Chain A
Amino acid sequence: MAITSPSPAMVAVEAVQLLFVLLFAPVLYGWIAIVRAFLSNRTPAGLFQPWRNLLRLFKKETLLPEGHSILFVLVPPAFFSVIAGASLLVPFLSVSPLLAPVADAVTLVGLFSLARMTMALGAMDVGTPFGDMGARREMMVAFLTEPATLMILFTVSLWSGSTSVPSIIRSLSDGHDLFHPSLLIAALAFILVFLGENARLPIDNPTTHLELTMIHEAMLLEYSGPLLALMEWGSMQKLLLYLLIGIDFFAPAGIPEAPTFLSVLAGSGILAGKLFLLGSGIALIESLFAKLRIFRVPEFTALAYLLSTLGFLLHFVLEV
């Protein structure tokens, strides 16, 4: 599949996609915090609090720990650009954006694991016990969520017979009125994977200040200033991108086919609505569940892996 000659509209859609992810990711984070505060009877800090935090971090001085190597400074920009790159490749404002053929769904999952690996390398660079622990725990979560993600996307790709995301969206949005048990199970597995990959409760508490229970935060302990801001901003984008991939696979209705100004505008409206809804759902899950003991985490992620494999199998048994 070749990149067709780029029309200005398609280039514009790509630019809007990138901007959307860059600007909206912290807002979504703020929204989840607002709903959580509302559910626990607290006064929320406002929709733009994550943005204010990021800007404050960008203005701060960078503290570099003694004994760091060049990797320590290279990791945040690398992590950030891998995630931002993914926002050009995931279709959400047009079914088939210009750069979508560059990476199919398998490559997208690969990009996320590249991002994870860079972050873990940065965490282990200084050699503080908490950084090492965070990296180890992150990999412990990931070694089951990553295969689960791949199995989920194999399941959704069975209708189109191809792992290219645009063709998955097309095959799922037309002729899709039947009830598919395999998709249901895959969606369930995706929720578990989402929680595990993005360091949300019940796997990891994003607002924790207790170092011993940290996973994601433990990896960032040595970072400060703009470097920390890049890591945090990248993680926020990662959460948004996971939701967008989930929308692509399980609720693709409303993603515009043709990149016209009005359809993109309408599409982003619908998308924002879906995202606010999903954000509320995350907040609800986070309010209802307590954090799992760290040794129970692999059971949780193994469930995700098992469910995703089951979804794949169910397709063969029931739906072909």
Chain B
Amino acid sequence: MNSLLTSPLLDSLWILAAWATTGLVGAWLLLRIPSLSRLFYGLLALESLFMALSGLQGLAGRSDTRLVLAGGIPGLPFHFRQDPLSSFFLLLLGAASVGTLIYTGGFMKDEPPRTNALFLLRTALFLSSMGGVFLADDAYLFMLSWELMALVSFFMILTDRKREDVRRAGYLYLLMAHGGSLLILFAFALLASHESLSGPLSLENFSFGRMGQTILSPPVALLVFLLSVLGFGAKAGILPLHVWLPLAHPAAPAPASALLSGIMLKTAVYGLLRILFGLEGLPQLHASFGIGLLLAGGVMALFGILYALLQSNPKSLLAYSSIENIGIILLGIGLSILYLKTGHFAAGAIALSAALYHSLNHAFFKSLLFLGAGTMVHATGETNLNRMGGLLHKMPLSGLLVLAGVLSISGLPPTNGFVSEWLLLQATLQAPSLTGTLLRSAVLFGAALLVLSSALAAMGFLKFFGIGYLGQPRSDGARSAHECSLAERMGMGWLTLGTLFLGFFPAFVLSGIRGAVFSLSGADLPSFSHEFGWTWLLPFPPHGPSTSPIFLAGLLLLLGLPVFWLARLPGRGRRRVPAWGCGTRQTPERSQASAESFAQPIRHFFPVFFSMKRHIPTPDDPDPVFSLAVEDPHWPLLYRPLFRLFSLAAESAEKVRTGRISVYLVYSFATLLFLLSVLRWR
């Protein structure tokens, strides 16, 4: 325990307050002087930068500080705590939001002042409520921040509230968020009430410090595990609860999507880690929990990327890909529980750091890609990839930044996506040290799903970039596209720099993550003591594998430059000619691949995953129309039957409502009699 004055906790709290104040003052001023918008977003970005520094300081010093402030409810004041895990997520929050905030300044400049002011206020409150989630150390403060975050993000999705689909998406999101909160609350209640064995139940039991000392019976431990996975899963988009994600992201403005997907999904990861490792505690978990999480994550990853591949709207593509990425993170957490519970601490630490590393990576490249999708939509006025194309000519710089994000999310070396995938694969390769076929097969299955979905991700993002940015423009909007504003490019540039840093210097990042992993699991990563240790990804003892992204990048650059020179040098010059295209002389605009045709092999090969409605016209059809609709099978198989059941129940409940006061009096009388008889029986 460090002293309060040297710890970053106070700084973090000040920044939370600063965010909220900037938002309130900024919104008030923007209504009067709209031109100040970029100043206030810049101010928020500066505060985010300080938040990142505070997180960094907490990670570097491995500080663990608590603070109790007056407030809250009687008997339960506000508890704050910044331990390495909180510091890690605060770093993620601060560092990734800097880019998004700079971008927002440029993105929102043409909006009416009212929209702009409201968006500023919501963004600021959103940031500080997420910070509150990471710093809360009691159930009340946690739920308060959690609900505030859900509400503010609901309003962020509703920015364009006049559109019907936006309102529907927002409503669904609110429903899921609140359902999830109930489950989380129930998990907290179980954790808090089980301590009452040793003493009287008091509100103080709802502080995380007390909850962490509970002793749970195995069925209750399982129940808490399930409740927290489902509760946080509703926010993270775990598989059947993901349906709001692909609807909410296209509905929300790009910066809101970037914050929602890049950062808010990580609050669910944080909550899950906090409950499982912190409050329930490693001794009370069971290896089978790990298997469950591992398999759920693997299936989520595959499902998410398969659906991402089919999307024609760039933002729904990215939303489904978020499901994939959260699946990968859950897979890592499951793997680490499995290893830690079977006594393989090194492997468990690697798996857990892979999960955290991937959270950080995803925060950067997914924000970058959502912002990129925002510029695509802004520049063309189209929301469908089939009406874009050739944007790299019109938006060269932002296009190249998006390309960096595309290569990273596809997990190609030497980018950051590859680093976390590599770590996760190394962790799965420790499977031979496990005993029992079940455990080994589960890990093997996870590894097989992981490599399959990462290969599919490359295809999905080739589609995203190839259809959107390459080729020739497919619509007037795409022909008249323009490069985005400087602020937007700067925001995306910040995120690209972060992505590159995470890819090239994994040892620095891991040395920060080590603290969080150690505080969660008590296990440590192999040490980084030798010379030039910082260039390596992870030095395994004694002669294990490693890899060095920075060397690799240097090597590729060193080889690439002379080859590039070779390609330009000889021959008899170069000439610009019409594209060959096997002799077709038409302009290629209409004959290019469409978003659907690009994914056709996948649809053909995985028919079981998709519920498709296809209409193929017969040859003698006078008005031939080809149509294909692919739907998420969770709608016809789960949600619509569920909705029907609810409306059926509601309708049958209607029957008791007759509208006559005498009948209602009978109802109240019968209820009274029933309650009295219950009392009598007791």
A65 vs B403: C-alpha distance when bound (angstroms): 22
Given the known interface contacts A99-B555, A127-B470, the answer about A132 and B592 at a Cβ–Cβ threshold of 8 Å is yes
Given the known interface contacts A2-B532, A61-B572, A66-B576, the answer about A126 and B444 at a Cβ–Cβ threshold of 8 Å is no
Given the known interface contacts A60-B571, A69-B392, the answer about A102 and B455 at a Cβ–Cβ threshold of 8 Å is no
A137 vs B588: C-alpha distance when bound (angstroms): 19
Q: How many residues of A contact B (CB 8 A)?
A: 89
A60 vs B573: C-alpha distance when bound (angstroms): 8
The segment from B164-172, B183-191, B536-544 that touches chain A is: B536-544
Q: Does B458 contact A (CB under 8 A)?
A: yes
Q: Which of B432, B454, B580 contacts A65 (CB 8 A)?
A: B580
A63 & B575 in contact (Cβ 8 Å cutoff)? yes
Q: Which of B428, B429, B571 contacts A61 (CB 8 A)?
A: B571
A68 vs B582: C-alpha distance when bound (angstroms): 16
A226 & B462 in contact (Cβ 8 Å cutoff)? no
A58 vs B588: C-alpha distance when bound (angstroms): 28
Q: Does A244 contact B (CB under 8 A)?
A: no
Q: Which residues of A contact B600 (CB under 8 A)?
A: 136
B471 & A130 in contact (Cβ 8 Å cutoff)? no
B577 & A66 in contact (Cβ 8 Å cutoff)? yes
Q: Which residues of B contact A137 (CB under 8 A)?
A: 601
B532 & A64 in contact (Cβ 8 Å cutoff)? no
A39 vs B69: C-alpha distance when bound (angstroms): 85
Contact mask for chain A residues 283-320; partner B; CB cutoff 8 A; 1 contact, 0 none: 00000000000010010001001000100110011001
Q: Which of A61, A70, A316 contacts B396 (CB 8 A)?
A: A70
Q: Does A260 contact B (CB under 8 A)?
A: no
- When C-beta atoms are compared, the residue in chain A nearest to B579 turns out to be A65
Q: Which of A110, A113, A146, A157 contacts B429 (CB 8 A)?
A: A157
Q: Does A85 contact B (CB under 8 A)?
A: yes
Instruction: Tell me what chain B mostly uses at the interface: helix, strand, loop, or mixed.
Output: helix
Q: Which of B531, B564, B602, B605 contacts A2 (CB 8 A)?
A: B531
Q: Which A190-223 residues have a C-beta within 8 angstroms of B?
A: 211, 221-222
Contact mask for chain A residues 222-255; partner B; CB cutoff 8 A; 1 contact, 0 none: 1001110010000000000000000000000000
B582 & A64 in contact (Cβ 8 Å cutoff)? no
Q: Which residues of A contact B470 (CB under 8 A)?
A: 69, 71, 121, 124-125, 127
Contact mask for chain A residues 104-126; partner B; CB cutoff 8 A; 1 contact, 0 none: 11110011011011001100111
B600 to chain A, nearest CB (A): 8
- When C-beta atoms are compared, the residue in chain A nearest to B546 turns out to be A1
Q: Which of A2, A88, A132, A146 contacts B530 (CB 8 A)?
A: A2
Q: Does B175 contact A (CB under 8 A)?
A: no
Q: Does A67 contact B (CB under 8 A)?
A: yes
Q: Which residues of B contact A62 (CB under 8 A)?
A: 571, 573-575
- When C-beta atoms are compared, the residue in chain A nearest to B462 turns out to be A120
The segment from B242-250, B258-266, B327-335, B409-417 that touches chain A is: B409-417
Contact residues on B (Cβ < 8 Å of other chain), bracket = 35 or more
Contact mask for chain B residues 446-461; partner A; CB cutoff 8 A; 1 contact, 0 none: 0110011011101100
Q: Which residues of A contact B112 (CB under 8 A)?
A: none
Q: Does A37 contact B (CB under 8 A)?
A: no
A162 vs B433: C-alpha distance when bound (angstroms): 12
Q: Which residues of A contact B574 (CB under 8 A)?
A: 61-64, 225
Q: What are 23 A-B contacts defined by CB distance under 8 Å? A: A1-B540, A58-B570, A61-B574, A64-B577, A65-B576, A65-B578, A65-B580, A77-B566, A81-B563, A99-B551, A102-B547, A124-B462, A126-B588, A129-B593, A144-B452, A147-B448, A147-B451, A151-B447, A151-B448, A158-B432, A162-B545, A230-B567, A320-B432
- Beyond contacts A67-B472, A313-B441: 5 other A-B pairs, Cβ-Cβ < 8 A, are A117-B410, A139-B458, A154-B428, A226-B566, A309-B448
Binding site for A on B (CB under 8 A): 389-390, 392-393, 396, 403, 407, 410-413, 418, 422, 425-426, 428-429, 431-432, 437, 440-441, 444, 447-448, 451-452, 454-456, 458-459, 462, 465-467, 470-472, 530-532, 536, 539-540, 543-548, 551-552, 555-556, 559-560, 563-564, 566-567, 569-582, 584, 588-589, 591-593, 597-598, 600-602, 604-605
Those 10 A-B pairs whose CB atoms lie nearest each other, nearest first? A127-B471, A132-B593, A65-B579, A104-B545, A147-B451, A128-B581, A124-B466, A164-B545, A81-B560, A81-B559
Binding site for B on A (CB under 8 A): 1-2, 58-71, 73-74, 76-78, 80-82, 84-85, 88, 99, 101-107, 110-111, 113-114, 116-117, 120-121, 124-130, 132-133, 135-137, 139-140, 142-144, 146-147, 150-151, 154, 157-158, 161-164, 167, 211, 221-222, 225-227, 230, 295, 298, 302, 305, 309, 312-313, 316-317, 320
